[in-house]
Amino acid sequence: MINNSEIGQALQKLIEGNKRFSSSKRSHPNQDEGRRQELHKGQKPFAVIVGCSDSRTAPEIIFDQGLGDLFVIRVAGNIVDDVALGSIEYAVAHLGTRLILVLGHSKCGAVTATVQGGTPHGHIGSIIQTIKPALKAAKGLPGDLTDNTIKANARLVADQIQYSDPILSELARLGKIAVVSAYYNIESGEVHIL
């Protein structure tokens, strides 16, 4: 799927960082004063992470990265709206980031609430409405419905980013960016590419 070497290397960096994290061998890269000084000149994050607000899923920690490495968008349920898409467009068009990873995770409260149904108070309903197509896609699949919905949601959000007009769809079509979806197991600490 990913034949561009820069994008492939970025994905490899995430995978290796997560391996360090899940095997308790974190190296805490790019977190010292030297890195701060270096970044004073500007940032060039190598990946955009679209993750969940869940406090157990902090991207810099689970991928063992530091300052200036990841451009992170986090909302409950790792979904995107126009503001999030604009943030991604900024990263790819102005910072040169080429890999976008959408990260769903086990025990996601937003997805669990969607699967359970009901009428939530306040603005939480907007999140559940956005996740509902994933629930529909996951229904009837073998295995756990919530887990399947979490994975379907990450895939659907990756599609939404990849086909977002006019900027991201064009860059994806040209192979200048790649969008991948992944699943983080909060118990084992492992990230699996979907």
Judged by the rule CB under 5 A, the positions of this chain that interact with Zn ion are 52, 54, 108
Residue 108 or 138 with smaller CB distance to Zn ion: 108
Cβ closest to Zn ion, residue 91 vs residue 131: 131
Query: Shortest Cβ distance from residue 36 to Zn ion (Å)?
Result: 30
For residues 70 and 150, the answer to whether their CB atoms sit within 8 Å is no
Q: Least distance in Å: CB of 181 to Zn ion?
A: 14
Q: Is the CB of 18 or the CB of 178 nearer to Zn ion? A: 18
CB atoms within 10 A of CB 52: 25
Residue type, 55: S
77 vs 59: CA distance, rounded Å: 14
**In terms of CB distance, is 54 or 69 closer to Zn ion?**
54
State the Cα–Cα distance between residues 50 and 182, nearest whole angstrom. 10
Closest CB 110 distance from Zn ion, rounded Å: 5
- What is 35-91 written as a DSSP string? HHHHHTT----SEEEEE---TT--HHHHTT--TTTEEEEE-TTS---HHHHHHHHHH
d(Cα 77, Cα 34) in Å, to the nearest integer?
35
- Smallest gap from residue 105 Cβ to Zn ion (A): 6
76/171 with CB nearer Zn ion: 76
Phi, psi values for residue 98, rounded to 5°: -120, -15
Question: Minimum Å distance from CB 113 to Zn ion?
Answer: 10
